[in-house]
A and B are shown apart, each in its own frame.
Chain A
Amino acid sequence: MSIKVLYFASLKDQVGRSGDELQVSAPVSLLELWQLANPDLPLPNALLAAVNMNYASLDSLASDGDEVAFFPPVTGG
């Protein structure tokens, strides 16, 4: 199964790319997904995550076709 991963703002700069397309054999938690995509990077402080454009905790599961996003605290307004 395939999961699309997106990175935004300073996190995009840190990982050095705007996204990944990951292949997994079973649903994975967002924490596992981060570690799979970024094995050499520690989990950033204050990391926010979303699944299909809704906020999700790092123990939420992502599965085939999902769009997962990782980003720093938001600063709009």
Chain B
Amino acid sequence: MAVKLSDTVFDPWQEIANHQQAAGMAGKYGATAVFVGTMRDFNQGDAVCGMYLEHYPGMTETQLQLIVTQATSQWQVLETLVVHRVGRVEPNDTLVLVAVWSEHRGDAFDASRFIMENLKSRAPFWKRETLANGEQRWVDKNSGGYKRQS
């Protein structure tokens, strides 16, 4: 059940392959649910050329661990991996990876969604965007996630 913060670019697919191998789960899991969040080059109608991800060192890790613990107590999960970027980020960089391994798909789907939705609402990260015109602005709230944004 790994939680990692990364201040450099990471490859989510390599992280998954490495974690899967290190965990020694071969033959034990039948389902892997993966969510990868990637930085867009637009937001709220504006071109975005960069972003800074601020976090609260210590509390961020504590809250992520708590969310994972809640997920693993609610669903039958073999392994989880959460990786989140901090610091300077550029469009097309991976922002977040949530991977869940379980015997069956229901637990993997539900636990991964629980982790992702709770990360969005509880983990102390804040985005400050740099727009193409040089202006900087704080993102004041996350999208709903369940409905198509207009």
Contacts and interface: CB of A to CB of B under 8 A. Distances in A.
Interface of A: 6, 8-10, 13, 50, 53-55, 69, 71-77
A54 B62 contact: yes
A71 B126 CA distance: 9
A76 B117 CA distance: 10
14 contacts: A8-B126, A53-B63, A54-B59, A72-B138, A73-B141, A74-B122, A75-B125, A75-B127, A76-B53, A76-B55, A77-B37, A77-B120, A77-B123, A77-B125
B99 interface: no
B95 interface: yes
Contact of A76 (B62, B127, B128): B127
Contact of A53 (B53, B62, B138, B139): B62
A77 B121 CA distance: 9
Contacts of A8: 54, 56, 124, 126
Contact of A9 (B58, B116, B126): B126
Contacts, number: 75
B53 to A, nearest CB: 7
Interface of B: 37, 53-56, 58-59, 62-63, 84, 95-96, 116, 119-128, 138-142
Contact of A69 (B59, B123, B140): B59
Contact of B56 (A71, A75, A77): A71
B123 A76 contact: yes
Nearest to B84: A76
Contact of B128 (A9, A53, A54): A9
A65 B128 CA distance: 31
A75 B58 contact: no
Q: Which 10 pairs between the two chains have the least Cβ-Cβ distance?
A: A76-B125, A9-B126, A53-B59, A10-B138, A77-B120, A75-B139, A75-B127, A77-B96, A53-B62, A76-B123
